[in-house]
Amino acid sequence: MDYMASRKAWIEKELPVFLQRASIPSKLKDSMVYSLMAGGKRIRPVLLFATLDTLGEKEEKGLATAIALEMIHTYSLIHDDLPAMDNDELRRGKPTNHVVFGEATATLAGDGLLTCAFQIIAADDQLSDACKSGLVLRLARAAGPEGMVGGQEDDLEAEDKFLSLEELMSVHRRKTGKLIKFPVEAAALIAGASEQEEKSLSGYADHLGLAFQIGDDILDIAGNEKDLGKPIGSDLVNHKNTYVSLLTVNGAREKLAEHIQRAKGFLSEGKFDGGILSELADYLLHRTS
């Protein structure tokens, strides 16, 4: 998908600029940049740009927010990989942050990226103060203990327990869903979307977030180790509740298709269908990494 590739290239060019210019102890800076630039699909920034474009707003106006979002996503991966959390030594084919820089610096790199995310939004002179404080509020809610951090705790507590499909969806809405919904809602705020437009986009993002997580669970068991850059089956080893363990691989594939369908239904409702947001939904249906 050309759009996705071009926006991925753009955000990857812009991502390290803030850190490179900042006065940060060099090992800490290297550690932050290492994980920030360690690849990934950049799906959250792409979603932000695509929503801005769909709403007829300049994509540049979302750049600082997109960088902030990717910093928060990156910090969550660094802390998630720590020995006391998931204890992962490999991510996207590369040694994880604490393997390279040590646990102490990895912890600080995560803390630093999380803090910089809010700094970058607050420093963005393209946006009004009202818009900036709205973005900070929404981002903190999506990323904090009512959102992603709360979902990570849920996830810890769910290990070795059996969750129902409802419970699993509730964990994932917090753990990954809110941070996939955020770029769509952020774009609506930046572009000054109507309430009706925001409602459709928000419904789209909700189903997209669930589809994304289901896709991750499928790839963990049925994906290709080389494409993923990590060992297959780690969820099983870690006794994680996944859509696959609840529904089988084929059942999870059906569920994924259903959420993509419902996401596209919300696009039709808002008359946003046929554009980049539809393409992104299709991409999530067929992705291999």
Q: Given the rule CB under 8 A, which residues bind a copy of itself? A: 19, 22-25, 27-29, 32, 75, 79, 82-85, 102-105, 107-108, 110-112, 114-116, 118-119, 121-123, 128-130, 132-134, 136-137, 139-141, 143-146, 149-150, 152-154, 156-157
Measured from the CB atom, is 28 or 222 closer to a copy of itself? 28
Question: How far apart, in Å, are the Cα atoms of 277 and each of 46, 182, 208?
Answer: 10, 15, 10
Q: Name which of 157 and 282 has its Cβ closer to a copy of itself.
A: 157
Looking at the Cβ atoms of 33 and 256, the one nearer to a copy of itself is 33
Q: How far is the CB of 85 from a copy of itself (least distance, A)?
A: 5
Tell me how far, at minimum, the Cβ of 162 lies from a copy of itself, in Å: 18
Residue (133 or 250) nearer to a copy of itself, CB: 133
What is the smallest separation between the CB atom of 157 and a copy of itself, expressed in angstroms? 7
The distance of closest approach from Cβ of residue 183 to a copy of itself in the complex, given in angstroms and rounded to an integer, is 17
The 10 Å CB-count burial string (b at 16+, else e) for 111-120 is ebbbebbbeb
CB closer to a copy of itself out of 2 and 26: 26
The CB-of-99 to a copy of itself minimum distance in angstroms stands at 13
- Closest to a copy of itself by CB, 63 vs 211, is 63
Residue 36 beta carbon to a copy of itself: minimum distance, rounded to whole angstroms? 12
